[in-house]
Amino acid sequence: MMENARGCYCGDGDTSCGTCERCGGAGHTRHFPGPVPYTGAWCDRCYHIVEWTHPTRLLTHIIIPLVALVLLYQCVG
């Protein structure tokens, strides 16, 4: 099945393809917004909240690049 720009499995004319796991509203079934191999359903609002507040975001977007920069600085300097 083709995925749309949202990354969910809605067909033509569908307004939702699942029930949001956080708020219970009309949601979309798609991949978890992080590095965890999980598929669930979220409305757009809850999806973005989970995307920005999940603990793995801190690890993958702040800590790993910071460690890489420190190691690079030590190798160059």
At residue 65, the pLDDT reads: 85
> Is the pLDDT score of 2 beyond 60?
no
Predicted local distance difference test score (pLDDT) of residue 77? 63
CA distance 67 to 77: 15
- pTM of the predicted structure, to 2 decimals: 0.66
The confidence score (pLDDT) of residue 27 equals: 93
pLDDT per residue over 6-64, tens digit each?
A: 888 887 778 888 999 999 999 999 988 877 788 999 999 999 998 888 877 777 777 88
